[in-house]
Amino acid sequence: MILGKKGAEKTISIYWFAILIIVAGAVVYMVASVYGQPYDVRQIESDILANNIADCISEGGYLKEKVLNDASFKENFLGRCSLNFEAADFPGTNGEYYAEINFYDFDSENKINFEVSSGNLNLKQFCEIKGRTNPACSQKSFYVIDKNQQSYRIDVTAVVNKADKNV
């Protein structure tokens, strides 16, 4: 009788141990599934970058002066727009960002020969390819006029790679 009771207690101990392992395993799986995968914020980052570039070249509905056909803006685009494309967390890469601005005459739709770009040009090709691990790309257009009522369409392209820490 005493031996039977001891056997039952042993069985219950094994059972409890098994339940403990199952519960602990499930908790570990749930925590890993929630926190194990990083948030992919690259699309938002590229959208913000495109918006900031748009803010840099137009203000109050007008195209800013000393932007279009200004060689100093083209040469010092990042500095003029207060952008920093250095990514300290990604050493050894050719750059994790790319930005490009194209100007078009709104009425004739002709491209104006004044293209501004900076960053890793190789990233631009991924704008046409969809894929979770590919760089995030934002292509935005807006209408703007200058102080002389000349109207333009401006296309802004912003690409963010940073796949290693977001995917």
Kindly list the residues in this chain that would bind other proteins in the complex (CB under 8 A).
Answer: 8, 12, 15, 19, 22-23, 26, 29-30, 33-34, 37-41, 43-44, 47-48, 50-51, 54, 58, 60-62, 106, 140-145, 149, 151, 153, 156
CB 83, min distance to other proteins, A: 16
CB 127, min distance to other proteins, A: 14
* Nearest C-alpha neighbor of 155 from the set 50, 46, 43, 55: 50
CA distances (Å), origin 154, targets 17, 56, 125: 66, 12, 20
Nearer to other proteins, 41 or 78 (CB): 41
H/E stretch holding 23: helix 2-35
The backbone torsions φ and ψ at residue 16, rounded to the nearest 5 degrees and listed phi first, read -60, -40
Nearer to other proteins, 125 or 141 (CB): 141
Return d(Cα 32, Cα 1) in angstroms, integer: 47
CB 17, min distance to other proteins, A: 13
Nearer to other proteins, 118 or 166 (CB): 166
Nearer to other proteins, 113 or 148 (CB): 148
Nearer to other proteins, 2 or 71 (CB): 2
Return d(Cα 14, Cα 132) in angstroms, integer: 45
CB 31, min distance to other proteins, A: 9
Tokens at residue 42, please?
């690259």
CB 167, min distance to other proteins, A: 11
Q: Give yes or no for a contact between 158 and 164, defined as CB atoms under 8 angstroms apart.
A: no
